[in-house]
Amino acid sequence: MNHIGQNSPLERWRLLMVMGLVVLVVGYYAYKLFDFQVVQGAVYQAQADENRTTRISVPTQRGNIYDRNGFVLARNVASYNVTITPANLPGDPSVGGDASKLTTDLDADVQEVYRKLSALIGVPASAGEINDETVRLFSPCQTDLGIAQIVYIADTNAPYDPMRIACNIDASLAMTIQSHSAELPGVGIEVEAVRDYPTGSLTAAIVGFLGPVPAGQQDYFRAKGFLPNRDKVGYAGIEATMQDVLGGKNGERLVEVDVSGQELRNLSNPVEPVPGNNLVLTIDTRLQNAAQQALIGEIDFWNTYFNEIRSSSGAVIAMNPKTGEILALVSYPTYENNRMARFIPAYYYQQLISDPWKPLFNHAISAEHPPGSVFKMPTAIGALNEGVVTPDQKLNDPGQITVMQRNLNNLPTQPFTYVCWKAEGHGDMDWIHGVANSCDVYFYKIGGGYAPDGVAGLGPWRLVEYARALGYGQKTGIELPGEASGLIPTPDWKRINQGESWLPGDTYIASMGQGYILSTVLQVLVSASILANDGKYMQPTLIREVLDPEGNVVKPFEPKLKWDITKDPVIKVFDENNLETGETKVVQPWVVQLAKEAMRLVVTEGTAKGVWENSKVQNSAGKTGTAEYCDNIARAKDLCRRGNWPTHSWYFGYAPYDDPEIAVVAFVYNGGEGASVAAPIVRSVIESYFELKAIDAAK
């Protein structure tokens, strides 16, 4: 009894320790339970909800693109894809990843489905082997794996998601597969909207094409509701610049799923997708075709005539000068955008970027070339407006002039001769005939000055002002990606970029669109259109209307006036030291009117007379241009030799002369004389325009 009493305190201590441990354990679990359910309850609830819910993006329909007459340029067409949902197969597809195991390990019922489907679509029932490399490179419809291997990958990742086995099959084959659905459990037909371009390469430079969301822009497009691995966005042309208008907005479904990813139920009302708006462009597909045929036909004719490939690229643009509407825009060579409808084939893309003539490059708005004599119009109106010469004042062209000048500032002056394109000269030329005959010596004198005749010359700074007033040296803002700015150099530009001072010879050759001056084809057209439209610069545009999915006009066409050189003071004034005075001026209306008369004389008496004298259109005006150049292609052929440089061919024209409806520019790379090559192209396009107008009127 005493022993028991003596040991009781020790046993009570042990009991207390056990009880304390129990209390600690229970307290710990109680604390953790409180922490999980109360303190962090919202966090874990959110994680649980995230595990059992998923948001499914519902693709929208991209808007269509039409020409001004309603002809379809871009649309969505149904494409049929064969899919297999692994979870719906009549057996376990998780074996058979290796082709050698297909007949031994794979369920017989699944094998039968694969064999029947293979016989219908031509994809092997089993081919290839599953390994890290094949899984990494795997892409549905772009793989050499067989059906068994494709399904094996799908079953591993998402057994309840359909996996594409074959893409873009015939509609009749899709119907056949659907009619055999009882024999092909797990096999389905997915209908996918694919972009189709009925006019193909004819309008590819305008319309462009689609592609997957670029890696560098995934965050941007995710924020707009697009899925990078599924949705496509504009890569070129109108498809790219008008992405926000055409793209629409995807819908969304919030659904509950089980651990294997199978959908159980909708958790909220679905958000319906919003289709993209439709676009009506300003171009006329018929005139676009006429312009392309005229350009290619002229290039082919001269290549055949000389029995060599002299020209392989060019551009033609037609515009309504009163509204800025682009009626046709041809860039040659071009590409077939339908080949990019489903995906961009690597071999075709490589072929395009390797082509030295750059089919993906928009030669109408992105290429920069010396404009040559079509650039004489800024010089001409500047000289008149600044009082350098009067309209009736005559300057003699003996075929060449010699001036004393320095090639570099630290060298003594020495004689330098500037020649006219007409070796014997034009004789005495007043202003209007100097323009009509594109007399080089006349423009040397009014642009750079000529002391023996008492002509001070326009000079480089004022030349820049009049060039910019006619749209040179700046982007037009047309709705196409990749537009270039061109280059109208100043003495400051040459000092900074060339490390040399501006010389008198720079002004001489700049006055006739040579030297450092560069222009896009569109800028040349803009300069002509401003003068044709009595000094009004209308914003060039390809967008006529925006329509909603039901065809209602949501944004009608409104011509936009950028400036009027006869009313808006866009010309900076310089003092006798070529310093800005802070004042500005306009171009006098009578100067613009004389410019129009001079361009009319180009057609009736001047350099383009032979082209137009038998034309069906007898009331046009225009200007020829033959521009010497020396680029990497010419240097490689050893063609850059003074006095015998290769030349580009230019011409712009508009009609009717007194009330212009259409202005057209044509450019042919290495085409030679503007009157011989580019002018006939413009004539053909203008004639086609009036023929189409007569046809429409008759209808």
Least confident of 70-74, 219-223, 278-282, 618-622: 219-223
DSSP letter string, 303-362: HHHHTS-----EEEEEE-TTT-BEEEEEEES---GGGGSSS--HHHHHHHHH-TT-TTS-
Provide φ and ψ at 554, rounded to 5°.
-105, -20
Q: What is the pLDDT of residue 36?
A: 64
Peptide bond into 656 cis (omega under 30): yes
Pair of tokens at residue 396: 């003699």
Neighbours of 47 (CB within 10 A): 11
What confidence category does residue 7 fall into, taking pLDDT thresholds of 50, 70 and 90? low
Pair of tokens at residue 386: 């600044």
Q: Answer yes or no: is 169 within a domain.
A: yes
Q: What is the pLDDT of residue 43?
A: 60
Report how far residue 32's alpha carbon sits from residue 168's, in angstroms, rounded to the nearest whole number. Answer: 56
Q: What is the pLDDT of residue 204?
A: 97
Q: What is the pLDDT of residue 190?
A: 87
DSSP letter string, 423-460: TT--EEE-HHHHHHTT-HHHHHHHHH-BGGGTB----H
Contact (CB, 8 A) for 644 and 296: no
Pair of tokens at residue 18: 């056990």
Q: Chain centroid to CA 677: how far? A: 27
* Average pLDDT in the chain: 89
Asked if residue 259 and residue 161 are part of one domain, the reply reads: no
Asked whether the CA dihedral 483, 488, 492, 496 is positive or negative, the reply is: positive
**Residue 58 is part of a domain; what is its CATH number?**
3.90.1310.10
Res. 3: pLDDT tops 80: no
Q: What is the pLDDT of residue 5?
A: 47
Asked if residue 595 and residue 468 are part of one domain, the reply reads: yes
Asked if residue 596 and residue 466 are part of one domain, the reply reads: yes
Which tens digits make up the pLDDT trace of 379-423? 999 999 999 999 999 999 999 998 887 666 666 778 888 899 999
Q: Answer yes or no: is 640 within a domain.
A: yes
Q: Answer yes or no: is 22 within a domain.
A: no
Pair of tokens at residue 461: 């700074």
Pick from 503, 506, 502, 505: nearest CA to 491? 502
Place of tokens 């594409």: 164
Neighbours of 368 (CB within 10 A): 15
Pick from 526, 507, 522, 598: nearest CA to 565? 526
Q: Answer yes or no: is 126 within a domain.
A: yes
Mean pLDDT score, 196-203:
96
Contact (CB, 8 A) for 67 and 281: yes
Asked if residue 293 and residue 271 are part of one domain, the reply reads: no
Asked if residue 233 and residue 187 are part of one domain, the reply reads: no
Percent of the chain with pLDDT over 90: 63
Mean pLDDT score, 65-72:
97
Q: Answer yes or no: is 298 within a domain.
A: yes
What confidence category does residue 228 fall into, taking pLDDT thresholds of 50, 70 and 90? confident
Asked if residue 404 and residue 274 are part of one domain, the reply reads: no
Q: Answer yes or no: is 2 within a domain.
A: no
Which tens digits make up the pLDDT trace of 619-642? 999 999 999 998 888 888 777 777
**Overall residue count recorded for the chain in this entry:** 699
Q: What is the pLDDT of residue 155?
A: 83
Asked if residue 298 and residue 267 are part of one domain, the reply reads: no
Could you give the angle at the alpha carbon of 583 between the alpha carbons of 579 and 587, nearest 5°?
105
Which tens digits make up the pLDDT trace of 10-42? 577 677 777 778 878 887 777 767 766 666 666
Pair of tokens at residue 482: 């990749």
Q: Where are the alpha helices (DSSP H) in 139-256?
A: 147-157, 171-179, 204-207, 218-223, 237-241, 243-246
Rounded to a whole number of angstroms, the distance between the first and last alpha carbons of the chain is 129
Q: Chain centroid to CA 287: how far? A: 20
**How many Cα atoms occupy the beta-carbon half-sphere of 614 within 13 Å?**
3
Last residue of a domain, one of 191, 213, 248: 191
Pick from 535, 524, 543: nearest CA to 476? 524
Mean pLDDT score, 579-605:
96
Mean pLDDT score, 129-150:
85
Could you give the angle at the alpha carbon of 420 between the alpha carbons of 302 and 682, nearest 5°?
35
Pair of tokens at residue 296: 């290619």
Last residue of a domain, one of 231, 251, 281: 281
Asked if residue 89 and residue 62 are part of one domain, the reply reads: no
Place of tokens 């219908």: 120
User: Which one has a higher pLDDT value, 22 or 584?
Assistant: 584
Asked whether the CA dihedral 491, 497, 503, 506 is positive or negative, the reply is: negative
DSSP letter string, 83-131: EE-GGGSSS-TTS--BGGGHHHHS-HHHHHHHHHHHHHH---SS-SB--
What confidence category does residue 699 fall into, taking pLDDT thresholds of 50, 70 and 90? confident
Amino acid present at 239: E
Percent of the chain with pLDDT over 70: 91
Q: What is the pLDDT of residue 562?
A: 98
Report how far residue 75's alpha carbon sits from residue 94's, in angstroms, rounded to the nearest whole number. Answer: 40
Place of tokens 């007898």: 618
Q: What is the pLDDT of residue 1?
A: 46
How many structural domains comprise the chain?
A: 3
Q: What is the pLDDT of residue 73?
A: 98
User: Which one has a higher pLDDT value, 554 or 223?
Assistant: 554
Asked if residue 598 and residue 556 are part of one domain, the reply reads: yes
Report how far residue 607's alpha carbon sits from residue 674's, in angstroms, rounded to the nearest whole number. Answer: 9
Res. 267: pLDDT tops 80: no
Q: Answer yes or no: is 13 within a domain.
A: no
Q: Answer yes or no: is 516 within a domain.
A: yes
pTM over 0.85: yes
**Residue 366 is part of a domain; what is its CATH number?**
3.40.710.10
Which tens digits make up the pLDDT trace of 431-488? 999 999 999 999 999 999 999 999 999 999 999 999 999 999 999 999 999 999 999 9
Asked if residue 623 and residue 518 are part of one domain, the reply reads: yes
Q: What are the respective helix, strand and coil percentages of the chain, to the nearest 5?
A: 40, 20, 40
Asked if residue 204 and residue 135 are part of one domain, the reply reads: no
Res. 667: pLDDT tops 90: yes
Q: Which helix (H) or strand (E) holds 79?
A: strand 72-84
Pair of tokens at residue 662: 């259409």
For 377, 433, 443, 455, 506, the CA distances from 395, given in Å and listed in that order, are 17, 11, 10, 9, 21
Q: Which helix (H) or strand (E) holds 389?
A: none
Asked if residue 117 and residue 215 are part of one domain, the reply reads: no
Mean pLDDT score, 482-505:
94
Res. 106: pLDDT tops 90: no
Least confident of 46-60, 313-327, 456-470, 678-692: 46-60
Q: What is the pLDDT of residue 690?
A: 97
User: Which one has a higher pLDDT value, 683 or 421?
Assistant: 683
Report how far residue 509's alpha carbon sits from residue 401's, in angstroms, rounded to the nearest whole number. Answer: 13
Which tens digits make up the pLDDT trace of 287-327? 999 999 999 999 999 999 999 999 999 999 999 999 999 99
The secondary structure of residue 277, as a DSSP letter, is P
Q: What is the pLDDT of residue 9?
A: 56
Instruction: Give the domain extent around 156.
Output: 80-191
Q: What is the pLDDT of residue 42?
A: 64
Q: What is the pLDDT of residue 103?
A: 46
Res. 604: pLDDT tops 90: yes
Q: What is the pLDDT of residue 444?
A: 96
Last residue of a domain, one of 250, 281, 312: 281
